[in-house]
């Protein structure tokens, strides 16, 4: 395997995955959303193509031209509130965009390995804590439009090795963060506000949503290393990528405040509260650890410190 193609390469995870694969000696190509900018990818020696995964003809031509040995499918609408604003577009992108890619592989390049990135959100809410940690046999119980579309794509992708014997892997990453993440997501939203306070760019008030929820957080750099190892060591199957332990959102906020050394007032912002917010979620990474040797290496405190410093550096420009 020499040539790897990444859909959604312009996104937060796509950039880290490109770096991970380039360091490992792969030739990398990528598909970025035609209405987005890919200027920030200029420093990478990657071959870039613009388009939309819902537009099959252009996607297939691009894949034919690059002729990858493997594809990592990241392109998706990933922000839950955005998925609720336009559910039809979320279904179109997250389900049919995935099927467009899988059908290219089935019809035109059945030896190409495809890694479909699903989400830990597919597990939704446990009925009680005895269901935790979620493993790959846990029931799918999506609690929002984003999770429902990911569940459908996840189940659809699993049919390709089952029926046609193809090399299709489904990865279910739980929450992951790191430098450069959009402030749409909780850890980065906190870090941006706290960096602004530390730099004197805003009043010492942090707007928050639900702080009592517990989630399973990993560093994005660990997650993309897991994707690379899956490509290298596995042909098919479903795999969780997670830390294996729950962290309360309140702890993340307190740690970032401590790292910044600032005094702040915390205020709940109703706009940041989700219609459905599951109190406790965490997963098991036993299966991927046994298959590839992967396990998380970067402590969450270091991830948060790196995230905070990234925001300080970029806001000070």
Mean pLDDT of 190-198: 98
φ, ψ dihedrals at 49, nearest 5°: -135, 135
Mean pLDDT of 274-297: 90
Q: What is the pLDDT of residue 274?
A: 65
168: closest CA among 218, 224, 231? Answer: 231
Pair 132, 209 in one domain: no
φ, ψ dihedrals at 185, nearest 5°: -105, 150
Mean pLDDT of 70-79: 94
For the beta carbon of residue 205, count every other beta carbon within 10 angstroms. 11
Q: What's the pTM value of the predicted model, to 2 decimals?
A: 0.96
Which residues make beta-bridge pairs with 113?
Answer: 70
For the beta carbon of residue 316, count every other beta carbon within 10 angstroms. 10
**Contact between 114 and 2 (Cβ < 8 Å):** no
- Comparing 274 with 124, the larger pLDDT belongs to 124
**Cα(163)–Cα(275) distance, integer angstroms:** 38
| Axis crossing angle, helix 249-260 with helix 300-315, rounded to the nearest 10 | 60
Tokens of 46: 């990657």
**Cα(95)–Cα(71) distance, integer angstroms:** 16
119: closest CA among 81, 84, 85, 145? Answer: 145
Could you report the per-residue pLDDT of 115-165, keeping only the tens digit for each?
A: 999 999 999 999 999 999 999 999 999 999 999 999 999 999 999 999 999
Mapping DSSP to helix (H, G, I), strand (E, B) and coil, where does residue 141 land?
Answer: coil
Q: What is the pLDDT of residue 299?
A: 98
Pair 166, 64 in one domain: yes
Q: What is the pLDDT of residue 71?
A: 98
Q: What is the pLDDT of residue 142?
A: 94
Pair 52, 143 in one domain: yes
Q: What is the pLDDT of residue 133?
A: 98
Pair 193, 206 in one domain: yes
Q: What is the pLDDT of residue 296?
A: 98
Q: What is the pLDDT of residue 80?
A: 79
Pair 149, 127 in one domain: yes
Number of domains in the chain: 2
Q: How confident is the model at residue 38 (pLDDT cuts 50, 70, 90)?
A: confident
Percent residues over pLDDT 70 in the chain: 99
Pair 163, 250 in one domain: no
Pair 41, 172 in one domain: yes
Q: What is the pLDDT of residue 276?
A: 57
Pair 70, 109 in one domain: yes
Q: How confident is the model at residue 84 (pLDDT cuts 50, 70, 90)?
A: confident
For the beta carbon of residue 238, count every other beta carbon within 10 angstroms. 21
Pair 173, 127 in one domain: yes
Pair 97, 226 in one domain: yes
Mean pLDDT of 50-67: 97
Instruction: Inform me whether the pLDDT recorded for 273 exceeds 90.
Output: no
Q: What is the pLDDT of residue 43?
A: 86
Q: How confident is the model at residue 275 (pLDDT cuts 50, 70, 90)?
A: low
Which residues make beta-bridge pairs with 48?
Answer: 30
β 113-117/27-33 pair status:
unpaired
- Give me the domain span that covers residue 197: 186-213+246-281+301-315
User: What CATH number is associated with residue 311?
Assistant: 3.90.25.10
Distances in Å between the Cα of 254 and the Cα atoms of 20, 140, 175, 189, 261 are 31, 32, 18, 13, 10
Which residues make beta-bridge pairs with 267?
Answer: 207
Could you report the per-residue pLDDT of 205-234, keeping only the tens digit for each?
A: 999 999 999 999 999 999 999 999 999 999
Mean pLDDT of 38-48: 87
Q: What ranges in 67-172 are assigned the alpha helix state H?
A: 80-85, 87-91, 97-108, 145-164
Pair 168, 203 in one domain: no
The mean pLDDT of the chain is 95
Widest distance between CA atoms in the chain:
59
Q: What ranges in the chain are assigned the alpha helix state H?
A: 12-23, 56-66, 80-85, 87-91, 97-108, 145-164, 186-198, 220-233, 249-260, 286-292, 300-315
Q: What is the pLDDT of residue 35?
A: 82
Pair 277, 289 in one domain: no
Q: DSSP per residue over 101-129, as a string? A: HHHHHHHH-TTSEEEEE--GGGG---SSG
**Cα(154)–Cα(299) distance, integer angstroms:** 29
**Cα(258)–Cα(305) distance, integer angstroms:** 10
Instruction: Inform me whether the pLDDT recorded for 271 exceeds 70.
Output: yes
Using alpha carbons only, what angle is made at residue 211 by residues 205 and 212, rounded to the nearest 5 degrees?
A: 155
**Contact between 122 and 170 (Cβ < 8 Å):** no
Q: What is the pLDDT of residue 78?
A: 87
User: What CATH number is associated with residue 54?
Assistant: 3.40.50.720
Torsional sign, CA 17, 191, 295, 210: negative
């Amino acid at each position: 395997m020499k040539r790897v193609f990444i859909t959604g390469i312009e996104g937060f995870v796509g950039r880290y995955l490109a770096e991970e694969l380039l360091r490992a000696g792969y030739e990398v190509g990528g598909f970025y959303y035609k209405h987005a900018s890919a200027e920030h990818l200029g420093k990478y020696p990657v071959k870039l193509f613009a388009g939309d995964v819902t537009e099959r003809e252009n996607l297939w031509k691009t894949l034919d031209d690059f002729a990858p040995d493997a594809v990592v499918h990241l392109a998706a609408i990933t922000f839950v509130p955005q998925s609720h604003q336009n559910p039809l577009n979320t279904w179109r992108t997250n389900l049919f965009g995935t099927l467009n890619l899988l059908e290219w592989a089935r019809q035109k390049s059945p030896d190409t390995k495809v890694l479909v990135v699903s989400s830990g959100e597919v597990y939704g809410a446990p009925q009680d804590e005895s269901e935790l940690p979620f493993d790959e046999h846990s029931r799918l119980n999506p609690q929002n439009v984003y999770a429902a579309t990911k569940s459908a794509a996840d189940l659809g992708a699993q049919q390709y090795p089952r029926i046609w014997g193809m090399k299709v892997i489904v990865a279910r990453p739980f929450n992951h963060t790191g430098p450069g993440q959009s402030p749409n997501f909780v850890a980065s939203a906190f870090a941006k506000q706290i960096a602004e306070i530390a730099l004197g760019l805003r009043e010492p008030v942090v707007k928050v949503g639900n702080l009592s929820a517990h989630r399973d957080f990993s560093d994005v750099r660990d997650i993309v290393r897991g994707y690379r190892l899956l490509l290298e060591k596995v042909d098919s199957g479903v795999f969780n990528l997670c830390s294996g332990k729950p962290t309360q959102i309140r702890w993340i906020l307190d740690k970032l405040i401590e790292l910044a050394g600032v005094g702040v007032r915390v205020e709940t912002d109703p706009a940041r509260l989700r219609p459905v917010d599951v109190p406790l979620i965490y997963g098991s990474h036993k299966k991927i650890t046994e298959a590839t040797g992967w396990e998380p290496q970067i402590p969450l405190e270091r991830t948060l410190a790196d995230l905070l410093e990234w925001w300080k550096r970029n806001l000070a420009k």
